[in-house]
Structure 1
Amino acid sequence: MAAQNLNEMLDLEVRLSEVPRDGRDYDFEADDAIKELLVEETKLSSVEAFQGKIAVRPFRGGYQATGQGTAIVEQACVVTLEPVKEDVTLDFERIYMPGKPPVVDVPPNAEVFVNLDSEPDQDWFEGDYIDLAPMVVETLLLSLNPYPRKEDAELADIQDDDDDSNESPFAALAALKDKK
């Protein structure tokens, strides 16, 4: 429900009747409330900046959204858990087609071929508007470093308290046998 709230707060609804043939640009910049909500809804430590520009134009019976954006975020280091700042470059590309997504009848465990290089992701819309906010947030989250690591952060060598590396696993059994 909060994700829907985030989409409403970003306010990137495009009324299709206002998109001319040569397209229209939509700018966005996250205010403090949106940044706070992004931190609450994600594993980010903080969001310093989040902005971009998306061009929407008619395309093959639907609409194409392309653009670029930037974000400055902080995540916890996977080694030290200290904040790691990251400058993120975002590339937006999505095709929106009218109607409902087709139902694909694929039997369980069937092999499905997906060509990731063919076309941009495709979404479906009903009505007279497209909401770009879900694509914007999704692109941000997928563009983040999944394993942020502070410079020079290394895992410490882990040693057991009892250093029995010289004993064989059967040494304890031999000790029991000697007690008899």
Structure 2
Amino acid sequence: MNTENDDPEFSHKVDLGGLPRSGKAFRLVADNVSLERIATRLNVISADAFSCDLHLRASRHEINITGKVTATLIRECVASLEPMEEVIDESFDVEFARSSPDNLRKENEDGEAVYEGEDIPPEIHEGEIFDIGEFAVQQLALAMNPFPRMPGAQSLAEVYGREDNVSPFAVLAEKFKKSDENQ
């Protein structure tokens, strides 16, 4: 969770102790101010829409969050550098441990640490307050295409690049080309 910034872009804090045993459903929708702040954080041209539907369930030992983030972002195409729309509709199912990883750890017959049902230990959440808004923005960041490219976009290298020397060694090959004089 975001521990560096005390004022997240899209905060919605939930008291885990006040949740029913079956959990609780939430629907979060970003307002214009939050959309601007999310766009700045994610380094996109703009965030035109962002919402999250999730179900939060907490026990003494774990927190389970399932749901979906949806967003419409305006991004910069990595090929043409032109603005383009990216629509995100991504489901998630995430678990947090509410105790230290050592309490969840068991050892196998070789003495190696093994976590129940996991190859790696779960992320740890401390305290009774969970910021589902901050969590939703993190899920959005994970769902974004790392290299957004418009369909059919030609890269600037394709448009303006040199085609004559395909290989970086092509220039050297020309220098050492055998001719009648240097045979």
Instruction: Check the 8 A contact 2:60/2:98 in 1, yes or no.
Output: no
Q: What's the TM-score, normalizing by structure 2?
A: 0.71
Alpha-carbon distance between aligned partners in 2 of 1:3 and 1:45, rounded to the nearest angstrom = 24
Aligned equivalent of 1:169: 175
Change (3 A) 1:170 1:72: same
Structure 1 position 97, deviation (Å): 2.2
State the distance in 2 between where 1:89 and 1:42 align.
Answer: 17
> Unpaired runs of 5+ in structure 2?
104-111
Q: How many Å separate the matches in 2 of 1:44 and 1:2?
A: 22
2:14 alignment partner AA: V
Amino acid at match of 1:72: T
2:73 and 2:113 map into 1 onto residues whose CA distance is 35
Question: Is it true that 1:64 corresponds to 2:64 in the alignment?
Answer: yes
RMSD: 3.8
| Structure 1 residue 33 corresponds to structure 2 residue 28 | no
Q: CA deviation at 1:26?
A: 1.6
* Cα distance change on mapping 1:60 and 1:127 into 2, 3 Å: closer
Q: Distance in 2 between matches of 1:90 and 1:55?
A: 15
Matches within 5 A, 1:139-154: 139-154=139-154
* Gap change, CA 1:42 and 1:143, over 3 Å in 2: same
What is the aligned-residue identity percentage? 24
Kept after mapping to 2: 8 A contact 1:23/1:58: yes
Alpha-carbon distance in 2 for matches of 1:41, 1:153: 26
Aligned equivalents of 1:51, 1:121: Cα separation in 2: 29
Shift in Å, 1:58? 3.1
State the number of aligned residues. Answer: 164
SS in 1 for 2:175: coil
Structure 1: segments with no counterpart, 5+ residues: 104-111
CA positional deviation for 1:169: 0.6
Q: 1:82 aligns to what?
A: 82
